[in-house]
Amino acid sequence: MPEFRLYNSLSRSIEPFVPGDGTTVKLYTCGPTVYNPAHLGNFRTFLFEDLLRRVLRMRGWAVEQVMNLTDVDDKIIKRASERSISITDLTDPVVETFHADREYLRIQRAEHYPRATAFIPEMIELVKRLEANGIAYKADDGTVYFAIDKFPTYGRLSRLDTREIRAGARVAQDEYAKENAQDFALWKAAKPEDEACGAAWDSPWGRGRPGWHLECSAMAMAILGETLDIHAGGVDLVFPHHEDEIAQSEAATGKPFARFWCHGEFLLTDGAKMAKRVGNVSTVEDLRTNGVSAAALRHFVFSTHYRKQLNLSGGALEASMEAVRRVGDFSDRLSRERAGNAGLAEAADTLIVEATTALSDDLNAPRALGALFDFIHAANKALDAKGTDAGALNRARDAFRQVNAVLDLVPDRGTDDSELATWVEEQLAARAAARAKRDFGEADRVRKVLEDKGIAIEDSPSGTRWKKVH
Ligand code: AMP
Ligand code: ZN
């Protein structure tokens, strides 16, 4: 296989990538802010990260992925206050919807989904370290800020040197304008509305709550350690979110926070960024209603390179539905046929070389898709010629399976037993991990997902057994 190369926003160039320890990729992906169901723009980013994760595994590495769930921030508090409910009452159902949508799109489950509110002590510790290093200060508004002039490399990721840096000027909001680089809030003094919706905790600086950027730094380092292999998210997170994550983490540890920073481009509708505040969002619910399968959306998203903008349109989705129908028909044919010929074996070898080369070249999924459709064309022709070589057929099946393991484009028509077993084992491992962390809500959720697929589970001293009940 050719070496694996990835665009690194930090160096603005494509660089060879291998995990720091040679075996396991420590991957942190900024997750959804759970005040509203995620929209397809968010899911474009999560699909780019799913592609990244699957390509890393194709390369033979293990992946330990964290996707945080931001369950306390300005927007969540505002929404909870409007409804006079607690932030937990607001976010719990949204987290459930997120996982259901994620599963619909066949986005592989990350190893960890930490909720920000479960890591408040780690966040406080981080602010204490920054304070001890003389970089955090409490202002007269009771909020603790990060002093950007004490961190000389502030702005390296987003090239702030071309813009105005206003050290000493302060900004308390989680999201703020790109034009200004100001001291940002680490720990915000509690307001009455924070207290009213359960968004305030005790701290050495009085009652308060974490800033959004602090959440990610604390959870990433608590779970994955002080230096990550890859930190990913959408391009809108470069400034201020990721810039501030770097500042907080590196000013505390003195070590690089992430070796690679990877950013996916926007999904647009009618030329504008899909965003809740613009009001042009579509959701997974809309896909379900319109009969757009996971396979079709995945095809649509992977047809454009992740660093290019992508416009959502009905026509494009229809073309993708048609394309995955061809993939499904071909997949059926491969399982029906009994033998192939030399042409089929050759097409299989070409597919493997071209698809792995494309995917290893900064995740070039559009080129891998091109190779897949060329393969389908050539393989259909070879199969029409009727061969007698069972080995050739197996090579074709194998090549198709390997590429589909990354793109996952075969329309869902019920999984066969070995796929089902793999899937159930994955779910059981996730449930065991949740139970080990005493996250019984998550464990119950996984049990429910299994039950919905007709899988009954039974815990016993020797482990968990499962069976198909319908
Ligand atoms: P949020 O829930 O707003 O924190 O966003 C979750 C993820 O979705 C982040 O990585 C964002 O960068 C990403 N994102 C938000 N809007 C879009 C969009 N229109 N296209 C692609 N990614 C997006
Ligand atoms: Zn983040």
Q: Which atom of ligand 1 is nearest to the CA of 235?
A: 12
Residues 242 and 318 in one domain: no
Residues 258 and 393 in one domain: no
As a whole number of angstroms, the distance between CA 58 and CA 404 comes to 11
- Evaluate whether residue 226 is within a structural domain: yes
40 within ligand 1 shell (Cβ under 6 A): no
CA 228 vs CA 12, 63, 133, 234, 469: distances in Å: 18, 12, 22, 17, 42
Mutate to test the pocket of ligand 1, among 27, 28, 33, 42 (most ligand atoms within 8 A of CB): 42
The whole-number pLDDT of residue 417 equals 60
Q: Which atom of ligand 1 is nearest to the CA of 32?
A: 2
> What is the CA angle 29-32-33, rounded to 5?
130
Residues 304 and 260 in one domain: no
Q: Is 108 left (phi over 0), alpha (psi -120 to 50) or beta?
A: beta
- Evaluate whether residue 11 is within a structural domain: no
The whole-number pLDDT of residue 413 equals 57
As a whole number of angstroms, the distance between CA 181 and CA 155 comes to 8
- Evaluate whether residue 277 is within a structural domain: no
As a whole number of angstroms, the distance between CA 106 and CA 299 comes to 12
Could you give the dihedral angle defined by the CA atoms of residues 388, 394, 396 and 399, in that order, rounded to the nearest 10 degrees? -170
Residues 85 and 174 in one domain: yes
Picking from 269, 304, 328, the residue at the C-terminal end of a domain is 269
As a whole number of angstroms, the distance between CA 266 and CA 275 comes to 10
Encoded tokens for 253: 């540890």
Phi, psi values for residue 291, rounded to 5°: 70, 30
The parent domain of residue 324 ranges over 291-407
The whole-number pLDDT of residue 284 equals 98
What total number of domains does the chain contain? 3
- Evaluate whether residue 282 is within a structural domain: no
Task: Tell me if residue 162 falls in helix, strand or coil.
Answer: helix
- Evaluate whether residue 2 is within a structural domain: no
Residues 398 and 430 in one domain: no
The whole-number pLDDT of residue 260 equals 98
Whether the CB-CB separation of 465 and 457 falls below 8 Å is answered with: yes
Q: How many CA atoms lie within 13 A of 210 on its CB side?
A: 27
Cα 30 to ligand 2 centre (Å)? 4
The whole-number pLDDT of residue 468 equals 74
Task: Tell me if residue 389 falls in helix, strand or coil.
Answer: strand
Whether the CB-CB separation of 34 and 70 falls below 8 Å is answered with: yes
What are the pLDDT tens digits along the chain (470 aa)?
899 999 999 999 999 999 999 999 999 999 999 999 999 999 999 999 999 999 999 999 999 999 999 999 999 999 999 999 999 999 999 999 999 999 999 999 999 999 999 999 999 999 999 999 999 999 999 999 999 999 999 999 998 876 677 777 888 888 877 667 899 999 999 999 999 999 999 999 999 999 999 999 999 999 999 999 999 999 999 999 999 999 999 999 999 999 999 999 999 999 999 998 899 999 999 999 999 999 999 999 999 999 999 999 999 999 999 999 999 999 999 999 999 999 999 999 999 999 999 999 999 999 999 999 999 999 999 999 999 999 999 999 999 999 999 999 998 754 456 667 778 878 888 898 888 888 899 899 899 889 888 888 888 765 677 777 76
- Evaluate whether residue 353 is within a structural domain: yes
Residues 113 and 253 in one domain: yes
Q: Which atom of ligand 1 is nearest to the CA of 44?
A: 21
Encoded tokens for 115: 């909720």
Cis amide leading into 32 (omega within 30): no
The whole-number pLDDT of residue 125 equals 98
